[in-house]
Amino acid sequence: KRKIIIGSRGSKLAILYAEKAKEKIMSILDGKSINKIEIKKIITQGDKVLDKRVSEIGGKGLFAKNIEKELLDKKIDLAVHALKDMPSIETKGLLTNIFLERNDPREVLVTKNGNTLENLKKNSVVGTSSFRREFQIKNKRSDIQCKLIRGNVETRIKKLDENFYDAIILSYAGIN
């Protein structure tokens, strides 16, 4: 019997998905050929640079490059990663071919007082890291100021609590 090592980013959400993958593997193998599955947290370049948009610092591959290197160097056996952060061109020698069930794709406006986008005060500041989300917000409310926000869910909510933003946009899956 051997051990399987799963590589993942270290955020709570990433680890949650890695745990789901671990459970699925355990249920399929039923302990027949492995004795342990371990999750290894890997820090990516995308996790280190938080003051710029991902597109400004090298694109979505920044979240995958270090994890892919661990795979290629055989330091991990497989990786669990958000498909949205994967580069569109696969890395030679690696294959993306197994997917966990898709989560709810909706997004959530988070405010301290439960306001909707329509009810935010004029010229409110909304935190998002997505050009698409910014475009959608501006389409509904041209007075809204969109300001870059990066970091995991906890970091973003803390920035809202500390009044850096009047509202933030998060994925429903991340909140859930």
Catalytic residue positions, numbered: 85
Identify the helix (H) or strand (E) that includes residue 23.
Answer: helix 12-29
Q: What angle do CA 158, 84, 80 make, to 5 degrees?
A: 90
CA 173 to chain centre: 10
Identify the helix (H) or strand (E) that includes residue 127.
Answer: strand 125-128
41: CB partners within 8 A, 6+ apart: 8, 9, 10, 15
Q: What angle do CA 65, 67, 69 make, to 5 degrees?
A: 70
36: CB partners within 8 A, 6+ apart: 3, 4
With tokens 């030679």, the residue in question is: 92
Q: Provide the sign of the torsion angle of the four alpha carbons 20, 21, 26, 28, taken in this order.
A: positive
